[in-house]
Chain A
Amino acid sequence: MTSHASAPLNTGAPWIVMKFGGTSVATLPRWQNIRELVASRRAEGARVLVVVSALTGITDALKQMCAQDDQGKRIEAAKAIAQRHYDLLDHMQLAVPDALGARLSELAKLAEQGPAVLGELAWSALVQAHGELMSSALGAAFLSHSGLPTQWLDARDCLAAIALPNQNERTKLLSAMVEAKPDPALNTRLAQLGEVFITQGFIAREAQGRTVLLGRGGSDTSASYFGALLKAQRVEIWTDVAGMFTANPRQVSGARLLQKLDYEEAQEIASTGAKVLHPRCLSPLREPRVPMLIKDTNRPELEGTVIGPEVREHAPSVKAISARKGLTLVSMESVGMWQQVGFLADVFAHFKQHGLSVDLIGSAETNVTVSLDPTENLLDSDAVAALASDLSKVCRVKVIAPCAAITLVGRGMRSMLHTLSGVLAEFGQLRVHLISQSSNNLNLTFVVDESVVDELVPRLHEMLIAAGALRTDDSALFGPSWQTLYGSGETVAADDAWWRSERRAQLLTLGAEATPRYVYHLPTVRKQARELKTLSAVDRLHYAVKANTHPAILRALAEEGFGFECVSPGELKAVMAVVPESAPLLFTPNFAPREDYAWALGTRATVSLDSLYPLEHWGDVFRGREIVLRVDLGRGLGHHEKVRTGGSGSKFGLPVDQLDTFLRLADAHHVTVRGLHAHLGSGILDDKHWGEVYNQLASLAERIGSVAFLDIGGGLGVPSHPGEARLDIAALEEVLRKVKSAYPHYQLWMEPGRYLVADAGVLLTRVTQQKGKGSWRYLGVDTGMNSLIRPALYDAWHEIVNLSRLDEPATALYQVVGPICESGDVIGSDRRLPEAQEGDVMLIAQAGAYGKVMSSPYNLRDEAQEIIIE
């Protein structure tokens, strides 16, 4: 235990304000935790002011009591509330302290009295204030009793609410504002009273002496007010999460902890979606420059988020991406009106009149579009209809909903636009209704259809990192991912790759002999295959051979019992040449000519169709046969536009609205649809995705009697960036089993490709030379996009290491480039690597999939050899 018997503090000792929320003050263990934390701050030589919320659930109980008209029921409610506090005191083995006893009898009196004497709002504010008054009285008793003398302070004596011109009685009493400026007199007065204090969040007093509430986020705001009044060394907000993250962790499990933010950035992130902090609680701290620290009560060892004055020593970076749903847009169009004085004022007067508050605004000469937040008034009244009716008298109105605002936050947003091209291209595929960029240069907001948001945000987060716009490589600003801190799934450990230690010497020898060389590690292929075989819901696995057609890999997977999915006669022939007769084959081409189908139907392969044309024009080819139908479920997923294979912008699959026509054609030619197949893209790391595809396919299959199996494709993601979570196979199994139990009469097939072979292969290449150009350093190697085109084609990120110098410090920043005469021949940009020498063996990881198979003789450079190691 930290000693509380440290030397007395002098009057000039700094203050630390610590705020604890409702769950943190509801149980004895949590109070013991608070005691430890407070004692440690005291031991740092600071005076401590603890700000507490009411016990969890008490504020709601008080609110319900206020809404209760029946006096008897109010009295009952007050008794139940008192009992909660007695129970906690019981656990603490404390008698009811006098201060708390007084509060409880006052509450009982208020319950009995009802609102008549004080007036509805003032009475309600005073009743609700009791939650904090009671919890703080209880806390003072506990802390003092456990050897940390603690003074109870009435927050209302310190925080004076100010009257604002636009306030009505309700906002005056229930969401008051306090002007908190450093107050040396208060500081001195408290310093004479003691060293540790406890007070209430959420409450203040107004000029007439009535108790008022600070509204939503009130307790955090109280802590900030006190931080400003006392010009504290810092304000600590203790909550259930380590701080603010680069995205909502519920949407993006790879969201990273933000370790440093300035006030404006933090306020912007809080305003645009983050729930951990109410945006209003930062402004009191800004002028006195008091930093705020957000900490996790359960994990105090974690760094947390520090919010303070702007610092200029970091490179500009996007800090966070957030999404707000449920927006309604009102687009107003008119020609020749905008020159008219007062037009906009008139328009906005209508919004005010119908009680609708405008948030974002975008304008052109002939159009103004504004967004409305989802309020009850908007959803349940005719406000929008009435507004549109009024507006339609002066302009053309269009009401667009439901929309979502996706906001990128970061200081100096405009200077980062060039890094956002990939992100902007992503928006290019969507209906963007409005773009807004404020003059404070902190944000960039896109308003899009709400339905795309859940998939879009995680993808954008990933793209921002890949594009170097969200600089997660700066460890001063960005902490661990949420997944690492709180998730259950394992994350990729950087050191477990087979090539890093186990086979390094062998690879160095291979690299010294000749480069470029692809090296495939068969044990890794088998390991991945066996992992997928643990998916017991899956009845049949096919290896999508286009990822890598090396005979040794095909043989290894045949031994593991895999079937094979081929997209051309060439692939089918290659597979049939090495795998046994018993291995199932699938022929899944796209825009294949008639001869390909005719030929494939002569093999043992199951053939799939994905358009009407073959049955419309070559029906006789398929007569009497069983086929698989590949459908397009109308949306695509994946890490890059070119690897997305669903949605109207993709050439794959039969659109669902043509299904009936297809079935009629099939019937006419006596073709039986035996399986349904959908494949939405690759590199998908979200386990729920396949459950959705499976569910959608099954609901379609129920309309087709002949279907016996559903093929949900592949696209199982392989994480490439350090810190990215692996696909959780156990979670995937659970998702699939759930759907399977709903549709037990369908067999389930999958077609993994890259997942089986990516990690098993590396590309070895040697350093040929270096070049400096301005501040840029190019590291030349002996092969490039001719051997591995993924970085150029998909912006794919491959880990690159200097295998010869794996243990040397990574001090240089290189652009790793190949010898091909194309400016796109960059294998990796901005890579931290050891200083390299000509002849060093470089290793490009995760090259087992779509490496050799996509290589080309471009520039007529020698092709990479392929080596198999057991």
Chain B
Amino acid sequence: MTNPIQPRLTQVFRFVRCSYANGVAELVYAFDQGEELIERVSFPAPPHLPPERKQAFDAALKLLHLFAGVSYYKAGIPPKIDIADGPLDDATADLLEALYLHGLAEFAYRNGLDLRGRIVFPRTSSSPSPLRGEGHALAQALALPKRTLVPIGGGKDSLVAVEAIKQTGGDATAVWVGNSPLIAACAQRTGLPTLNIQRELAPGLFELNRLGAWNGHIPVTAVNSAILALAAILYGYDSIAFANERSASAATLEYEGQQVNHQWSKGYAFERLLGDWLHTHVAADLDYCSLLRPYSELAITRAFARLTPYFDVFSSCNRNFKILGPKPADRWCGQCPKCHFVFLALAPFLPKPRLLAIFGRNLLDDDTQAAGFDALLEYHDHKPFECVGEGAEARAAMYALSQRPEWQEDALVARFRSEILPQLDATELALEPWLQPAGEHRVPARLQPALAAIG
């Protein structure tokens, strides 16, 4: 073994250094005095970086180094965090501490850990830090080109966002990180220019895992956001439009006084923190937002139900198959909460035979799936740890189906009618309120027509 470290017994997590050359960002970490863990993020066909963007680029690279560290930090959760090139300013340290604490909340819950008070990033209150975020002063505006990076995930949400931007004539590029053939197929189908960024985890992480590292969910959307911020500066985009919806902000459960939200880095709190930080530390004219923020899952699935050309390529299944086959079962495992939720949420908006053709089977006519759907409905159980809608949304969708003759007799719909529905307040089960946009969003003026096109 090259790395004799016991990950769970390490004392210090070190941000060693980060660098960028020829389209490759190298992010280096280490535990204690152990071997360096080097992650590489590769940007295809990298353009020459204009000098006026250099400072912004360095700040974004630094952010990526700090964010991507969460994958490694969580292997050991050592009591001390060390940053080789010095402490952070308050705004940056606050952002990082929030991300590591909330983004790892599910990880901590699953592993029976309490991270409160444990995650402390070195900060300097008075002396200038490498990231000079002086108060709330904006960073310089860079006159970035008026075009948008739209991350594609292979699921319905990002496709709804893409189509909204296309419909309103926006200039956009479909971007994704990693080599998923499913995402590539979806990106292809959008007809937009594409940008595929590669992220190569440090091989040493697999070794640490084998040596018994802590393992679990990390806030991957945050890491991807930092990658895209760097890409926006490198290639020249003035906005990054994610497709995170309203319910992403809702906590999955509360555990010993702490909110645990599986999709915290898809939530509004994170969007606001990062968006403000980019304005103050990177570029005043780089906007980071979610185009779907005011919409519920149900409003989005309704919008997606109109996008027939994607039906045979998209998948939200969390099994994330790396090899694509032609059958629905090659894209939808049919057993995970994502499969359950997308099936249920699309059902009210699609002809039944069409929906069943997408999934290749009827999940609601399968008794063995009862526990999975119960969890979505928050019946007998908490909401599952997945990026799925709120329990009330799931109940509204199920209620709608229970009123429809073509669904009523399916095993789980019939069970809902006889067993669950009598315990619910029928006045709270309407579908329509979910279809109205509501709540705050940070969509910049240039993209607001697209926001309106979704509803």
A interface residues, Cβ below 8 angstroms from B: 326, 328, 331, 372, 374, 378-385, 387-389, 391-392, 396-402, 449-451, 454, 634, 656-657, 672, 674, 691-692, 695-696, 698-700, 702, 704-706, 708, 738-739, 742-743, 745
Contact = CB atoms under 8 A, between A and B. Distances in A.
B210 A379 contact: no
Given A389-B404, A696-B319, A705-B213, 7 more contacts: A372-B353, A381-B351, A385-B405, A399-B353, A449-B361, A450-B361, A656-B335
Contacts of A700: 319
A384 B353 contact: yes
B351 A380 contact: yes
A391 B203 CA distance: 61
B212 A402 contact: no
Contacts of B329: 451
B353 A328 contact: yes
Contacts, number: 113
Contact of B406 (A399, A402, A698): A399
Nearest to B206: A745
A739 B323 CA distance: 7
Contact of B210 (A657, A691, A708): A708
Given A388-B404, A451-B329, A695-B323, A400 B353 contact: no
Given A392-B405, A400-B365, A699-B321, A705 B351 contact: no
Contacts of B118: none
Q: Which 8 A-B pairs have the closest CB atoms?
A: A705-B209, A388-B406, A705-B215, A392-B405, A398-B409, A388-B405, A742-B322, A401-B356
B361 A451 contact: yes
B361 A385 contact: no
28 contacts: A331-B409, A372-B353, A374-B353, A380-B308, A380-B354, A381-B351, A382-B351, A384-B353, A385-B351, A385-B352, A388-B405, A389-B404, A389-B406, A391-B405, A399-B410, A401-B357, A401-B362, A450-B361, A634-B335, A672-B212, A692-B325, A695-B322, A695-B323, A702-B320, A704-B215, A705-B206, A705-B210, A739-B322
B317 to A, nearest CB: 9
Interface residues of B, number: 36
A402 B357 contact: yes
A401 B352 contact: yes
A827 B436 CA distance: 71
A745 B207 CA distance: 10
Interface string B318-346: 01111101011100000100000000000
A698 B322 contact: yes
A250 to B, nearest CB: 11
Contacts of B209: 705-706
Contacts of A388: 404-406
Nearest to A402: B356
A451 B360 contact: yes
Nearest to B180: A742
Contacts of A392: 405, 408
Contact of A379 (B325, B354, B406): B354
Contact of B409 (A396, A634, A704): A396
B53 to A, nearest CB: 35
Interface string B202-220: 0100100110110100000
A399 B407 contact: yes
A460 to B, nearest CB: 18
A374 B335 CA distance: 26
A706 B210 contact: yes
Contact of B360 (A385, A402, A634): A402
Given A385-B352, A385-B406, A691 B323 contact: yes
- For A326, A451, A704, the residue with the greatest tally of chain B CB atoms inside 10 Å of its CB is A451
Interface string B244-276: 000000000000000000000000000000000
A699 B319 contact: yes
Contacts of B335: 634, 656-657
A379 B212 contact: no
- For B213, B335, B405, the residue with the greatest tally of chain A CB atoms inside 10 Å of its CB is B405
B212 to A, nearest CB: 7
Contact of A384 (B206, B361, B406): B406
Nearest to A664: B110
B322 A379 contact: no
Interface in B356-379: 356-357, 360-362, 365
Contacts of A454: 327
A705 B209 CA distance: 5
A635 to B, nearest CB: 9
Nearest to B216: A705
Contacts of B407: 399
B178 to A, nearest CB: 11
B365 A379 contact: no
Contacts of A696: 319
Contacts of A634: 335
A402 B323 contact: no
A326 B360 CA distance: 9
A402 B353 contact: yes
A378 B361 contact: no
B409 A397 contact: yes
B405 A397 contact: yes
Contacts of B408: 392, 397
Contacts of A383: 351
A449 to B, nearest CB: 6
- For A387, A401, A691, the residue with the greatest tally of chain B CB atoms inside 10 Å of its CB is A401
Contact of A706 (B212, B404, B410): B212
A392 B405 CA distance: 6
A454 B353 CA distance: 19
A743 B178 CA distance: 13
A387 B352 CA distance: 12
Nearest to A657: B335
Contacts of B215: 704-706
Nearest to A656: B335
Nearest to A672: B212
Contacts of A399: 352-353, 406-407, 409-410
Nearest to A688: B325
B220 to A, nearest CB: 13
Contacts of A451: 327-329, 360-361
A359 to B, nearest CB: 14
B266 to A, nearest CB: 20
A408 to B, nearest CB: 23
A449 B327 CA distance: 14
Contacts of B354: 379-380
Nearest to A379: B354
A742 B365 CA distance: 34
Contacts of B308: 380
A743 B409 contact: no
A294 B352 CA distance: 40
Given A384-B406, A385-B351, A385-B406, A743 B322 contact: yes
Nearest to A738: B323
A372 B382 CA distance: 40
A402 B351 CA distance: 12
Interface in B202-245: 203, 206, 209-210, 212-213, 215
A400 B322 contact: no
Nearest to A674: B210
Interface string B287-321: 00000000000000000000010000000000111
A698 to B, nearest CB: 7
A374 B365 CA distance: 20
A674 B212 CA distance: 11
Nearest to A626: B210
A702 B209 CA distance: 11
Contacts of A745: 203, 206
A822 to B, nearest CB: 39
A695 B409 contact: no
Given A385-B406, A692-B325, A379 B353 contact: yes
A745 to B, nearest CB: 5
Interface in B394-449: 404-410
A587 B357 CA distance: 42
Contacts of A402: 353, 356-357, 360-362
